[in-house]
Amino acid sequence: MKLDILFFAAHPDDVEVVAGGIILKHLALGKKVGIIDFTCGELGTRGNAEIRIIEATMASSILGLSYRANLNFADCFFEVSKPNIMKVVECIRKHQPEIVITNPEIDRHPDHVRASKIVKEAVFISGLEKVTTLNEYGEKQIPWKPNSLLYYIQDTYIEPNLYFDITPFYETKVKAFKAYKSQFFDPESNEPETIISTPEFFRRVEARNIEFGRRIGVKYAEGLVREKAIGIHSLFDVI
């Protein structure tokens, strides 16, 4: 399936928490948006691989995603290696996205950092004519260079340079990330408490969305980071 926007994530739920509103906004604009998770998050303190796959399916349904897949890399132990990079190259060439969005280059969780490095290298290699990959039918894939590589913002604060008004989509975004019931606050859960399973975590997510919204004069916003500068034709393009 050809996608307009392809998100990559080290774990299920990475994207929904920090960019669920961006997904909903672009789906409403008629764009095709997909997520490819690297792992099932099987080594997380709460839940297990089977539960998280079910939760990812529920979250995808709430968002109305065009596509979702999981590469089944080993949680906490996948490496920035040629085989893993080439697997992501195959995904990019298969779906031919105009925009790729992935985990931040700096973050508390090492998986997020490694995923970011893998995707950055794969985006570059995907456009190289002399690098050959095959699809699931054994057919040669054509090179594909996405127009833009962006990063979402997770635990470690990074100043965004792109802001998106998600106010009309905020409640649905919250429903999508709360579909990961095993991971976030659940008063009925008997599993060990983690940083993200406390009520305070949701309040921190909400506070960031409110602060980003304040900066652009709306109620709620999400931010992304773009490495490359954006050129404009006129000062009037930014008012």
pLDDT in tens, 142-168: 999 999 999 999 999 999 999 999 999
Distance CA 164, CA 82 (A): 34
Specify the range with the lowest mean pLDDT, choosing from 17-26, 39-48, 54-63, 180-189: 180-189
Q: What is the token pair recorded at 73?
A: 């890399």
Mean pLDDT of the chain: 96
Q: What is the pLDDT of residue 144?
A: 99
* Identity of residue 112: H
Q: Which of 45-49, 57-61, 71-75, 129-133 has the lowest mean pLDDT?
A: 45-49
Tell me the whole-structure pTM to 2 decimals.
0.95
Instruction: Please tell me which of 116-120, 177-181, 226-230 the model is most confident about, judged by mean pLDDT.
Output: 116-120
Q: Coil, strand, or helix at residue 100?
A: strand
Q: Which of 116, 97, 128 is nearest to 8 (CA)?
A: 116
Total domains in the fold of the chain: 1
| DSSP of 39-76 | ---TTSSSS-HHHHHHHHHHHHHHHT-SEEEE--PPTT
Quickly state the pLDDT bin for 8 (edges 50, 70, 90): very high
* Alpha carbons 21 and 216: distance in angstroms, whole number: 15
Residue type, 231: G
What the block records as the tokens of 190 is 């008997």
Question: Which tokens in the block code for residue 180?
Answer: 């990961």
What are the residues facing 37 on neighbouring strands? 9, 70
CA 58 to chain centre: 16
Residue 73's pLDDT band (cuts 50, 70, 90): very high
- Give the 3-state secondary structure of residue 233: coil
Residue scoring higher pLDDT (194 or 53): 53
Domain coverage including residue 140: 5-238
Mean pLDDT of 108-112: 97
Can you tell me the distance from the alpha carbon of 167 to that of 218, in angstroms, rounded to the nearest whole number?
A: 7
For residue 226, which phi and psi values (nearest 5 degrees)? -120, 125
Check pLDDT > 80 for residue 239.
no
Confidence at 237, pLDDT banded by 50, 70, 90: confident
Flag the least confident range among 59-68, 74-83, 98-107, 176-185.
Answer: 176-185
pLDDT at 185 over 90: no
- Domain at 86, CATH number: 3.40.50.10320
